[in-house]
Structure 1
Amino acid sequence: MVKRAGPALVLGLGIGGFVDGIVAHQLLGWHHMLSGWYPDDMALNMRGDGLFHLLCLVLVLVGVGLLNRAAPLPSRVLWGGVLAGWGVFNLVEGLIDHQLLGVHHVRSGPDQLAYDLGFLALGLLLVVVGGLLAKAGRRG
């Protein structure tokens, strides 16, 4: 699945980052990109968020560019790849930024581990559902 759905995975990485940034950073205000390291420096956190969103935009554009260079994907393979890419984003960000580096947590406070584990569980679920959807699309 990875070779065929590679462009969709890249697109999903960018979309997953945008969803995280828009929902957790902006709408809910739970954290900013560097809030675990610099909790009181809002200007630095805003620049970090901006660079993060710029990276997400680059991933989306690269994913779209790769999709345009390849044969059209069946819808289930495309959306399965997007979901799996979003899940990979959650798993990588959740393990590296949240757990290993402590750059930020999904939501700091007494239940931060539960929020972080929920983020990882959502990532795993997205990878599994996306993989199953893409596999079903290849068979169809």
Structure 2
Amino acid sequence: MTTASTNMPGTRIYNRNLWSGALFGLGMVAFIDETLFHQLLHWHHFYDKSTTGLGLVSDGLFHAFSWIATIGGLFLLADLRRKNALSIRRWLGASQFAGGMFQLYDGTIQHKWMKLHQIRYVDHVFIYDLIWNLAACLMILMGLFQIVKARNGQAGRIA
């Protein structure tokens, strides 16, 4: 059983809610990206600057990373539930924030700066980039809103 003082900003339990949510959110957005855009739609591979075979290997490594992050976040979540220390608002906020940060990183650093791949190889890629990055910013803002709301005492602990 946690006390109010152990579930306040700066405490270990508070930070564990943030880390658990962040790992889960990052892993889930990476998993959705890899599954939808890489495997189902065939828009790109994680690394498109070589052969299709190397692109598939890079997708497999990316997929493994996404599942490791997702499962790691879920293990931390289970531990928080067991300790009766889960703040669902804080956890969901961290999930949204980290998922949005990953998507923004992917859309700006990987797509544009490193040029590992484009979201889609079409003439008007700007539209796809704009939607991708605006969705990322929206996720970041929604996550921050939830984290701040939880920090201001509206945490919504779950037993």
* TM beyond 0.5: yes
| Residue 65 of structure 2 corresponds to residue 55 of structure 1 | yes
Q: Which residue of 1 aligns with 2:106?
A: 93
Aligned match of 1:134: 147
1:120 match: 133
Instruction: Could you tell me which runs of 5 or more consecutive residues in structure 2 were left unpaired when the two chains were aligned.
Output: 1-8, 155-159
Give the structure 2 partner of residue 105 of structure 1. 118
1:31 alignment partner in structure 2: 44
TM-score (norm 1): 0.86
Q: Which structure has the higher relative contact order (CA within 8 Å, separation 6+)?
A: 1
Between 107-116 and 16-25, report the one with greater CA deviation.
107-116
1:59 CA drift (Å): 1.0
Q: Give 1:14's aligned residue.
A: 27
Correspondence 1:42 to 2:52? yes
How far the C-alpha of 1:66 sits from its partner, in A, is: 3.0
Q: Aligned-pair distance for 1:111?
A: 1.4
1:5 counterpart residue number:
18
Aligned residues: 137
SS for the counterpart of 1:50 is helix
CA RMSD of superposed structures (Å): 1.9
More divergent stretch after superposition (63-72 vs 116-125): 63-72
Identical residues among aligned pairs (%) = 28
TM-score (norm 2): 0.77
User: Could you say which structure has the larger radius of gyration?
Assistant: 2
1:129 Cα deviation after fit: 0.6
Instruction: Report the Cα offset of residue 44 of structure 1.
Output: 1.3
2 CA distance for matches of 1:50 and 1:120? 24
State the AA in 2 paired with 1:97: Q
